[in-house]
Amino acid sequence: MRSEKRPDPTIIEPTDAIIRLSATCVCGSDLWPYRGADPVTEPLTMGHEYAGIVEEVGAAVSTIRPGQFVVGSFFASDNTCEICRAGYQTSCLNREILGTSGAARAERMRVPLADGTLVATPDLPDDDLIPSLLATSDVLGTGWFGAVAAEAGPGKTVAVVGDGAVGLCAVLAAKQLGAQRIIAMSRHESRQQLAGDFGATDIVTERGEDGVARIKDLTCGLGAHSVVEAVGTQEAMLQAIRSTRPGGHVGYVGVLHGVHLAGDELFMSHVHLHGGPAPVRRFLPELIDLVWNRKINPGLVFDLTLPLDQVAEGYRAMDERRAIKALLRP
Amino acid sequence: MRSEKRPDPTIIEPTDAIIRLSATCVCGSDLWPYRGADPVTEPLTMGHEYAGIVEEVGAAVSTIRPGQFVVGSFFASDNTCEICRAGYQTSCLNREILGTSGAARAERMRVPLADGTLVATPDLPDDDLIPSLLATSDVLGTGWFGAVAAEAGPGKTVAVVGDGAVGLCAVLAAKQLGAQRIIAMSRHESRQQLAGDFGATDIVTERGEDGVARIKDLTCGLGAHSVVEAVGTQEAMLQAIRSTRPGGHVGYVGVLHGVHLAGDELFMSHVHLHGGPAPVRRFLPELIDLVWNRKINPGLVFDLTLPLDQVAEGYRAMDERRAIKALLRP
């Protein structure tokens, strides 16, 4: 992992915008290829979380204007097709993945389908809001989708498997969505602390079957109503399913790696399963509003800030779990 | 498979009822052990669908009375625990499975937890209503749950994988729930006919990937909003998931056998998955009402009626797909 000089991006399609990044960051999902869990056969540009100021727009862009501060998601989407209108912009019929091709970890980036993809803030933000606005781009939007997919809400007991930035944001989301009880599964003190700040009412340190037993203990033997899976491994997914009561909901947002679900267990579990690549765009207007009005502070997940050219240290710190999430300033 | 003389059941628990069966039948799920797909190591009593007249109740039974005509589900449930109240009576904390232990394919049977399990009709039914009332006990309730789990409703395109009695009842349910378009996947002419009578607007005869492609063709390339899986095999489950649009719902009610779902495909599919043993008890009052008022006629799935002692022929006919479902008269 290194920082290097690359040509500045330019408008290619008339629906493109060029933005100058105010901040970018390292995603937990970037650790999969970093650790070799995803095959990497040639050099990749990486980075798919971004917020910044529009510098230029293509001729067909009508709502996004130069000078605006904008946030977008890791998939560009037209936001007009039937799938987008149903709220699944990450499965947009015209989606384009950013990151490996889009290189959001840079000074400038090209965003396709700018009108559909980008959401502008009401005005230029104060500098201290930028980490939280950047968080809406992926980790908050993803944790939020996990909580929505798990049907977190009033009267519900919500458990969150995974104490990375997404899991912590799922705790924040569950709190905002009105959950009655929020159980964070974490064995790291600094993350337990942040989970509490975000609204967790209980901390469970056990994992696997012991973690499931602990959740059952806390819920009269029934399991939680809603469980968010924010890891992506077989162990975490089974922990999530088994921690959910019959009729309850599992929202899974960890990128699943090597996970296989046995049909007979799923059948008898009686849970609802929903998840996948979070359609962050669906939630961006609401999340930006909450950040703008200082109702939430998801930027607290960034516990390390580095200049962009020290990106390699950001990966190392997250890989070694010294940092929850590294923010990079171009 | 044979019919034999067994002792009459008696009240064991004070919450029991004894009913004299008016009719019973062979379930598609009974074909799994019949065909050897489920291991059978000793003689089993079978049968878990029932409707009949209460002969005797235990001392603690307060709402069910001798002389009533009643229908129940294949799981006895207290209908008062938190899981029952959430509508998942087949995961009741005090559930007892009927069938292999309860022997509903008999002249008389013992039903545990009678107050929670049984639903009485307004009066003694006309004889021609009995097949439809019996159908509510399992196949209709199960197809109905599949359609509800798939969120069939107004404006929705619903596809049904499987043309057995449950799949056909899922078509009927989708129609009742107001679905706009109902695609039955069937290659058997008599079943296609009944699917049409129950409300199917389209028939797809292709299976597997060809079936998926056909569903996509019929839905502008998007897939159906709602897909009911009513078979239980790997092929059928994948056909269901792949026929569903991103953000859509799969309701699976076929008893899953040897099914394994790969996490990465599930993740990218963006579908909702829900299913399991249908909590028929949730739907029984509504379904009995629809039958009683002759709004629906699910009893049409019984295309073979035999005396109880010819049960073996019922199995053979269903195994060879000569019959959709066999009704047995004690």
CATH number for A211: 3.40.50.720
Q: Identify whether the C-beta of residue A161 lies closer than 8 Å to the C-beta of residue A251.
A: no
Question: Do residues A155 and A220 both lie within one domain?
Answer: yes
A246–B83: do the CB atoms touch at under 8 Å?
yes
Domain-embedded: residue B79: yes
Interface pTM, i.e. ipTM: 0.95
Beta strands in chain B (DSSP E): 17-25, 50-57, 69-72, 75-76, 96-97, 108-111, 119-120, 157-161, 181-185, 202-204, 224-229, 244-252, 260-262, 272-275, 304-307, 326-329
Condensed to tens digits (0 to 9), the pLDDT of residues B210-262 reads 999 999 999 999 999 999 999 999 999 999 999 999 999 999 999 988 999 99
Condensed to tens digits (0 to 9), the pLDDT of residues B131-188 reads 999 999 999 999 999 999 999 999 999 999 999 999 999 999 999 999 999 999 999 9
A50-57/A69-72 β-pairing: antiparallel
* pTM of structure: 0.96
Region B314-323 average pLDDT: 92
Q: Identify whether the C-beta of residue B267 lies closer than 8 Å to the C-beta of residue A252.
A: yes
Model confidence at B194, pLDDT cuts 50, 70, 90, reads very high
Question: Do residues A147 and A271 both lie within one domain?
Answer: yes
Give the gap in angstroms from C-alpha A152 to the nearest C-alpha of chain B: 15
Question: Do residues A197 and A283 both lie within one domain?
Answer: no
* Residue of B126, B177, B121, B129 whose CA lies nearest to B149: B177
B264–A259: do the CB atoms touch at under 8 Å?
yes
Question: Which among B91, B261, B266 is the nearest to A270, CB-wise?
Answer: B91
Question: Do residues A110 and A172 both lie within one domain?
Answer: no
A271–B266: do the CB atoms touch at under 8 Å?
no
* Residue of B136, B162, B137 whose CA lies nearest to B150: B162
Question: Which among A93, A262, A273 is the nearest to B273, CB-wise?
Answer: A273
Question: Do residues B35 and B133 both lie within one domain?
Answer: yes
| Binding-site residues on chain B for chain A (CB distance < 8 A) | 82-83, 86-88, 90-91, 93, 220-222, 232, 234, 237, 245-247, 252, 255-264, 266-277
Question: Do residues A158 and A212 both lie within one domain?
Answer: yes
Angle between helices B165-176 and B139-149 (to 10 degrees): 60
B267–A277: do the CB atoms touch at under 8 Å?
yes
A245–B87: do the CB atoms touch at under 8 Å?
no
**Which residues span the domain enclosing B202?**
144-275
Q: What is the C-alpha to C-alpha distance for residues A252 and A271, in angstroms, rounded to an integer? A: 12
Domain-embedded: residue A175: yes
| Residue that terminates a domain, selected from B275, B295, B310 | B275
Provide the 3-class DSSP secondary structure of residue B25. Answer: strand
B82–A269: do the CB atoms touch at under 8 Å?
no
How many folded domains does chain B comprise?
2
Give the gap in angstroms from C-alpha B238 to the nearest C-alpha of chain A: 11
Question: Which among A247, A252, A268 is the nearest to B86, CB-wise?
Answer: A247
Question: Do residues A207 and A287 both lie within one domain?
Answer: no
Suggest the residue from A226, A264, A271, A282 to mutate for an interface test with chain B (most B CBs closer than 10 A).
A264
* Residue of A287, A256, A252, A294 whose CA lies nearest to A271: A252
Question: Do residues B101 and B210 both lie within one domain?
Answer: no
Domain-embedded: residue B244: yes
CATH number for the domain including B98? 3.90.180.10
Beta strands in chain A (DSSP E): 17-25, 50-57, 69-72, 75-76, 96-97, 108-111, 119-120, 157-161, 181-185, 202-204, 224-229, 244-252, 260-262, 272-275, 304-307, 326-329
Q: Identify whether the C-beta of residue B226 lies closer than 8 Å to the C-beta of residue B151.
A: yes
Q: Identify whether the C-beta of residue B243 lies closer than 8 Å to the C-beta of residue B223.
A: yes
Question: Do residues A266 and A285 both lie within one domain?
Answer: no
Condensed to tens digits (0 to 9), the pLDDT of residues A35-86 reads 888 888 887 778 888 999 999 999 999 999 999 999 999 999 999 999 999 9
Domain-embedded: residue B119: yes
Domain-embedded: residue A304: yes
- Contact list in B for residue A83 (CB cut-off 8 A) is 222, 245-247
Model confidence at A164, pLDDT cuts 50, 70, 90, reads very high
Domain-embedded: residue B34: yes
Question: Do residues B26 and B97 both lie within one domain?
Answer: yes
Angle between helices A208-218 and A234-242 (to 10 degrees): 20
Rg (CA), chain B: 19
A266–B256: do the CB atoms touch at under 8 Å?
yes
Question: Do residues B27 and B82 both lie within one domain?
Answer: yes
Domain-embedded: residue B11: no
Question: Which among B222, B256, B262 is the nearest to A267, CB-wise?
Answer: B256
By C-alpha distance, the chain B residue nearest A254 is B267
Domain-embedded: residue A2: no
Question: Do residues A214 and A119 both lie within one domain?
Answer: no
